[in-house]
Structure 1
Amino acid sequence: MKKTEQSIKKLFMKPLSSTRGGAFYNAFPYPTKISPEAIAIYIASATKPGEKILDAFSGSGSTGIAALLSEYPTKKMITTAMALGIKPTWGSRNAVLYEIGTYATFATRTLTNRLKAKDYSIAVKSFIEKAKELVGGYYFAKSPNGSSGTIRYAIWTEFLVCPECGAEIDYFTNGTSRNPATFKKSVECHHCRKTCSVDEMTFATEEYYDKLLKRTISRKKRKLAWIYGTSKGENWDRAATTEDEAFIRKLENEFVPNELPREIKWGDLHRAGYHYGITHLHHFYTIRNYRVMSALWELAGTYPEREADALKLLLLSYNGAHCTLMTRVVAKHNAKDFVLTSAQSGVLYISKLPVEKNILLGLQRKAKPFEECYKMLENCHGTIEIRNVSSTKMIELDKSIDFVFTDPPFGDYIPYAEVNQINELWLPKVTERSEEVIISNAQQKNEDNYRDMLTKVFREINRVATDDCSIAMVFHAAKASIWGTFADAVKSAGLEIEQSSFLDKTQASFKQVVSKTAVQGDPIFLLKKSESGKTVIINEELILRQVVADNPHETEIEQRHCYSLYIGKCMENGISVQRDAVQVYEYIRNLREAETL
């Protein structure tokens, strides 16, 4: 057995923390499920310097960045490897990345273009200064005592319609309270005094002339409700005034668009309620923030190409999560005021209280992690080949890849092409959805289509991989049927699972937080080319019993870990996964109840 093979197998014996956080995590709005630093440990354990790494679903390019980082490991990477008892061979590697997403490809190319951190810093400083002169006045507001100030962010409110009398009710004023911050489940109509459930009330609409579409359309009725600002270093907040509303009307009246409207291609994420009237990109913004984004995008294009791309990436990295109506506030237990937060990842949700952030302030904060990223990569010698095409047909020669690290789409988990169009519509083109490997009602792709597309990619991986190539694959699902589809694709491609582990994540995604069927820690598998059929000496029931017996399962997170381990052991032994996550959690609850009798 080769030394690298021993190292990668040893690494799989313990869960590796995905080390979320740090510069790369903070730079992107849709971060990968495992950080480049963690992937670099896998790469340095499985390969030698100079060898070639493949990622067939590269997303924002973490595997490529990891290949570069393996030349100059951070202190945290070195200490993590030592704690795991492995000795990676650090040094320069080369990477080949396949990704159909245009935003993800743009992000990877831009971040790995070897722009010097110093040049990036100079460009950002110049950009921010020019941006303040250009649109800084858009965020002007007076403090409660009348002094000049700057908006940090503003809460907008929808209007609800009383089902009894048809009166329009300001949701912020009537449906919320502060100190403590609360979202009320019911409101009293100020006209007829009837108490109504918020969930059962419809929203008010209004007609307006859309200058980009050049026609009158209908939208949800919203107005400014509360403004948070700063004056001479002092933060303040107050109710929106007629003066604030007049400025918004002025921005709308003076708007002279110099671009064509960009249509949203709706799919599985469209909801008739909170997406009412949203058909084009500009509908996701307040008039103020759309005008700011348009002006800043045009300004970024005036810089030299590498700096221009870096500035556009900075804009896009902040855009999806912070610039649109999807930004929101939440009410935390006993908090005196609402807490500002970003858009929910993986969805296109707009709340009844959308938030308008000051984009200029956000960009200044966002620029620092990117500067750190450029600094870490600017002197790396490895090469990255980025292919913005489907990985169902690769151009690499047979047996030319030394290690594969990839993270296939998780069935119907997140429709990335639909989500990412909020950023991609600012770029020259959007993702070609016909090539998206996904289960999607909107795209008319079922589990069979998903399995067939996965199989094509896995066969290509088999073809280009050397005979002794290790293949590390992250996969996540809460449904047994999706695991069966994944297992079928692996087997049909001539691969087999040799070992399993899971990524010990410290921060869950939005869907993992709210879902009762979520899995804690994405399973990660070590695959190789099939040599012969496995002899099954254990069944699915015994695997589940053993996993539960060997691991704590008192807390919800521990139960989620048990499901990941159960999946891994089934896949290692070539046994069909029989249970969804919710069924395993029910099994554990029943077992605990039996133990207490």
Structure 2
Amino acid sequence: MNGKKYELTKEILDSLRDVEGFPIGKDEDIIALSDPPYYTACPNPWIGEFIERYGRPYDPEERYEREPFAADVREGKNDPIYNAHSYHTKVPHKAIMRYILHYTDPGDIVFDGFCGTGMTGVAAQMCGNPDPEFREKVEREMPDVVWGARRAVLCDLSPAATFIAYNYNNPVDPVEFEREAKRILAEVEKECGWMYETNHLVDGKVQFKADLDGTRTPVKGRINYTVWSDVFVCPSCSEEIVFWEAAVDQKEGKVRDEFPCPHCGAMMTKRSLERAWEYVHDEAIGETVRRAKQVPVLINYSVGKKRFEKVPDENDLALIQRIEEVEIPYWYPTDRMPDGYNTEQPKVSHGFTHFHHFYTKRSLACLAVLWNCFRFQDRKITSRLLYSFTSLYQRVTKMAEYRKGGGSGNIPNFYIPSFNWEPNVYEVCKRKLRNIITALIAMSLCRSQNTISTQSAGQLHQIKSSSTDYIFTDPPFGGNIMYSEMNFLWEAWLRVFTNNHSEAVVNRVQRKGLPEYQALMERCFAENYRILKPGRWMTVEFHNSQNRVWMAIQQALTRAGFIIADVRTLDKKQGTFKQVTTTSAVKQDLIISAYKPNGGLEERFKLTAGTAEGVWDFVRQHLRHLPIAPEKDGILQYVPERQKHLLYDRMVAFHVQRGIIVPISAADFYLGLYQRFPERDGMYFLPDQVPLYEQKRLAASRVEQVSLFVHDEKSAIRWLRIQLSDHPQTYQEIQPKFMIESRNTDRHEAMPELADLLEQNFLKDEEGRWYVPDPNREADLEKLREKALLREFETYKTTKGRLKVFRTEAVRAGFKKCWSERDYDMIIEIGDRLPPEILQEDDVLLMYYDNAETRLENN
């Protein structure tokens, strides 16, 4: 930046140690891994300078308006940039580009606090020079797109992740890199080639060739991979059984569920076997270790361009034994495996207590040679070579599972398969380098710099408030992946490790449950909220099949101050998005669009908080941030956030999160909404939004119908409103359909009878047909219904013990009344009596409960 020289020193590191997420490692290793000012393997002290140099200060007068990005995104993973390096989760950069192009202008600052491999940074750069085919495709979908590079600030807790991200975002000359890579590979092959030689057999006989001097030498093949098998002990005769030989049907390539012992003939299953163990001297740590016995059972090799397979012969076994006895002359990691949720399985099942136990001696020796050669090159070339090295990851460990026909499957979470695939490390590296060179060529036109920091996203002191223009992030999702554990295999080579104290994860070994996860995510989102400019957007991609984790994320977002404007689910089969019509049904990937209220709203709200004027000011601003008329394939899509009950929920959340009493009842809110804002198809709009919606509605082939699953009282009422909105119906007409839809009601839900639901929420004409009431009458019905719900809530207060069956709507109404009366103790008392999973999966109940806890702690 500005030609200034930057150096990361031990004095600077000392000043950063108190920053949350400072990694574990020696100063010299952190410094060696870093490339200041654009990348540091620790908290980056130059982020603020980067933003000041390339960004624009927040201007309250700047006009900025964007709807949530509501178009379909179809981007596969068959891209050279995407495939250059493996990681546990990764969003294709071309998908992220669409969001960046929609929400930002050229030169804007984009932030990602859970950057992983840095795809957000790649996307920001590629907006400046996309490939022609992608450019043409985007311009068809987004006619108003403005091309131009954006700048990215990337952050992750993991040194492995930020190192990968740095290399994805650090331009390198692909020609120079390829020349150096080929030179090094030639050196490695010269030193390690003998480890991957085997005699060529035909019909079990060694083939020979005649040399120039007339001597005959065996024809040598190059080993492509070796398959290793677990060894077990027969419980009947105590003889050892090579699992591959006993259980695999060689013709079908399948593992039999039941098979005979080759020694005594007793029938058995894998579960009935005991593992065979052996004791060996581990020269790396100077100890005798106990490990699961594994033996080579199949070698796949090439002679010329032809491939062959063989059972290891005496020469192959002698070669393996020779390699076992050779001392590796280069450094390699010997760190002890950390305690973790997933790291115990290999310790218990195979005795893998240290890093190097995950490799065969041959693979470890070859990797050590590669690592030694890679580390003594030009700084930028060295970094990219080491990045290439880390891209090998599981494929060269004993976690790579053998699959019929060759190749391997990468198994997550440190699972050690019964048949593992030991590849020729040199060949794997050569193929990977070709992929990386292809990716480098694709990225060679991107010359803008991004900046990367290794730290917690929950403490971003280097970044000023209201200084970033957009946030795209793909955060950790509960307990699905233990990043700090899985990244250990990378970080041991890099010699810098994740400080997992602030890792946002559900992990019993770290003593983090869902509440701890939510609290950590809330801190991260709070920092995101602080650094984001008012009125700007954050996109959160979230993957989880557990409703309670989605509730935790949603609650963390709203407690941080964000307002959720749109939630869509990614249909992986179709590659499309569909809007979420309930707040708790999460079975697919979510795309969450949330915004930070603009400064004007917040300033006005300080003056009008607790008044009806503040309520309607919020609603006007929120409606302005919602999609107006998204369409797909000629079908006008429904916008759930424009429904009255969700508008009411967002308004209540806005008040509660700021500690303000909600000044208006649901009945008065619905009436006021009807009086102030035009309604179309069950959705509410600002007056100036209606012409566009009606124009789109006329042009559309049809309007999307909302599909609704009835699981509780609230969803039942919404289902009835949809049923009765077209034409009035009698009880007899409604009842059969309602019985079908409500057959899967939540077990805890004390669902009122259909007659009571109709009586409390709808009106009946002279012919006995139920219909949706006029909004002016609806307010009176809502007040009567609220009284009935509060009477029900009073009965819960007089009982003791767990509430096993109850009306969720009554608890919601009761919590709302307790909040208005500042009776936080009662909210906590009733909340503690609810089933924990219900409290965690209901966004309204959780919001009141969490905020009541906060109020009590602060008092």
- TM-score tier, shorter chain, comes to 0.7 to 0.9
Measured against aligned partners, the alpha-carbon deviations of 1:284-318 in whole angstroms (never above 9, x if no partner) come to: 01110011111110111122121111111111101
Measured against aligned partners, the alpha-carbon deviations of 1:546-596 in whole angstroms (never above 9, x if no partner) come to: 99xxxxxxxxxxxxxxxxxxxxxxxxxxxx997999xxxxxxxxxxxxxxx
Q: Is this contact kept in 1: 2:544–2:588, CA < 8 A?
A: no
Structure 1 segments unaligned to the other structure (5+ residues): 331-336, 509-517, 548-575, 582-597
Q: Counterparts in 2 of 1:298-447, with a 5 A limit?
A: 298-318=372-392, 320-330=393-403, 337-344=404-411, 346-394=412-460, 395-447=462-514
Query: How many pairs does the alignment contain?
Result: 533
- Measured in 2, the distance between the counterparts of 1:358 and 1:226 equals 14
Measured against aligned partners, the alpha-carbon deviations of 1:450-496 in whole angstroms (never above 9, x if no partner) come to: 11111111111111111121111111221121112111101110111
- Measured in 2, the distance between the counterparts of 1:231 and 1:544 equals 69
- Measured in 2, the distance between the counterparts of 1:204 and 1:312 equals 37
| 1:44 aligned residue | 101
Q: Give the deviation of 1:428 after TM superposition.
A: 2.0
Secondary structure, aligned partner of 2:87: coil
- Measured in 1, the distance between the counterparts of 2:478 and 2:113 equals 16
Aligned AA (2:354): H
Aligned: 1:489 with 2:556: yes
- Measured in 1, the distance between the counterparts of 2:718 and 2:839 equals 12
- Measured in 2, the distance between the counterparts of 1:279 and 1:295 equals 23
- Measured in 2, the distance between the counterparts of 1:59 and 1:171 equals 38
- Measured in 1, the distance between the counterparts of 2:328 and 2:509 equals 35
| 2:154 aligned residue | 97
State which of 461, 465, 475 in structure 1 corresponds to 2:532.
465
Q: Counterparts in 2 of 1:146-545, with a 5 A limit?
A: 146=207, 147-256=219-328, 258-259=330-331, 261-269=334-342, 270-271=344-345, 275-318=349-392, 320-330=393-403, 337-344=404-411, 346-394=412-460, 395-505=462-572, 521-530=588-597, 532=618, 534-536=647-649, 539-540=714-715
- Measured in 2, the distance between the counterparts of 1:86 and 1:440 equals 46
Q: Is this contact kept in 1: 2:139–2:145, CA < 8 A?
A: no
- Measured in 1, the distance between the counterparts of 2:230 and 2:376 equals 38
Q: Give the deviation of 1:111 after TM superposition.
A: 2.7
Q: Give the deviation of 1:95 after TM superposition.
A: 0.7
Q: Is this contact kept in 2: 1:408–1:475, CA < 8 A?
A: yes
Q: Is this contact kept in 2: 1:72–1:91, CA < 8 A?
A: yes
- Measured in 2, the distance between the counterparts of 1:273 and 1:184 equals 26
Query: Which structure would you say has the larger RCO, counting Cα contacts within 8 Å and 6 or more residues apart?
Result: 1
Q: Is this contact kept in 2: 1:267–1:443, CA < 8 A?
A: yes
- Measured in 2, the distance between the counterparts of 1:507 and 1:372 equals 29
- Measured in 2, the distance between the counterparts of 1:469 and 1:215 equals 58
Alignment RMSD: 2.8
State which of 184, 191, 198 in structure 2 corresponds to 1:134.
191
- Measured in 2, the distance between the counterparts of 1:34 and 1:212 equals 39
- Measured in 1, the distance between the counterparts of 2:592 and 2:325 equals 57
Relative to the length of structure 2, the TM-score reads 0.59
- Measured in 2, the distance between the counterparts of 1:545 and 1:423 equals 55
- Measured in 2, the distance between the counterparts of 1:543 and 1:475 equals 27
| 1:559 aligned residue | none
How has the CA–CA distance of structure 1 residues 236 and 79 changed in structure 2, closer, same or farther, with 3 Å as cutoff?
same
* Bigger mean CA deviation after superposition, 421-430 or 261-270: 261-270
Measured against aligned partners, the alpha-carbon deviations of 1:90-143 in whole angstroms (never above 9, x if no partner) come to: 101111111111111111112322111111111221121111112122111122
Measured against aligned partners, the alpha-carbon deviations of 1:407-451 in whole angstroms (never above 9, x if no partner) come to: 110011100110111111000211111121111011111111111
Aligned: 1:108 with 2:108: no
Aligned AA (1:301): R
Secondary structure, aligned partner of 1:502: strand
- Measured in 2, the distance between the counterparts of 1:427 and 1:310 equals 13
- Measured in 1, the distance between the counterparts of 2:717 and 2:410 equals 42
Measured against aligned partners, the alpha-carbon deviations of 1:174-197 in whole angstroms (never above 9, x if no partner) come to: 110222211111221122211111
- Measured in 2, the distance between the counterparts of 1:192 and 1:580 equals 55
Q: Give the deviation of 1:274 after TM superposition.
A: 6.6
| 2:688 aligned residue | none
- Measured in 1, the distance between the counterparts of 2:574 and 2:263 equals 46
Q: Is this contact kept in 1: 2:157–2:499, CA < 8 A?
A: yes
Q: Give the deviation of 1:535 after TM superposition.
A: 1.0
| 2:144 aligned residue | 87
Aligned AA (1:354): N
Q: Is this contact kept in 2: 1:17–1:505, CA < 8 A?
A: no
- Measured in 2, the distance between the counterparts of 1:22 and 1:543 equals 44
Aligned AA (2:175): K
- Measured in 2, the distance between the counterparts of 1:90 and 1:419 equals 37
- Measured in 1, the distance between the counterparts of 2:330 and 2:430 equals 27
How has the CA–CA distance of structure 1 residues 472 and 384 changed in structure 2, closer, same or farther, with 3 Å as cutoff?
same
* Bigger mean CA deviation after superposition, 524-533 or 19-28: 524-533
Secondary structure, aligned partner of 2:506: coil
Q: Is this contact kept in 2: 1:67–1:382, CA < 8 A?
A: no
Query: Identity across aligned pairs (percent)?
Result: 24
- Measured in 1, the distance between the counterparts of 2:484 and 2:96 equals 24
Relative to the length of structure 1, the TM-score reads 0.84
* Bigger mean CA deviation after superposition, 145-154 or 256-265: 256-265
Q: Is this contact kept in 2: 1:185–1:197, CA < 8 A?
A: yes
Q: Give the deviation of 1:5 after TM superposition.
A: 4.3
Q: Give the deviation of 1:19 after TM superposition.
A: 2.5
Aligned AA (1:349): Y
- Measured in 2, the distance between the counterparts of 1:96 and 1:433 equals 21
- Measured in 1, the distance between the counterparts of 2:837 and 2:62 equals 32
Structure 2 segments unaligned to the other structure (5+ residues): 1-60, 208-218, 576-584, 602-617, 620-646, 650-669, 671-681, 683-713, 723-835, 842-859
Aligned AA (2:383): D
Q: Give the deviation of 1:326 after TM superposition.
A: 0.9
Q: Is this contact kept in 2: 1:476–1:519, CA < 8 A?
A: no
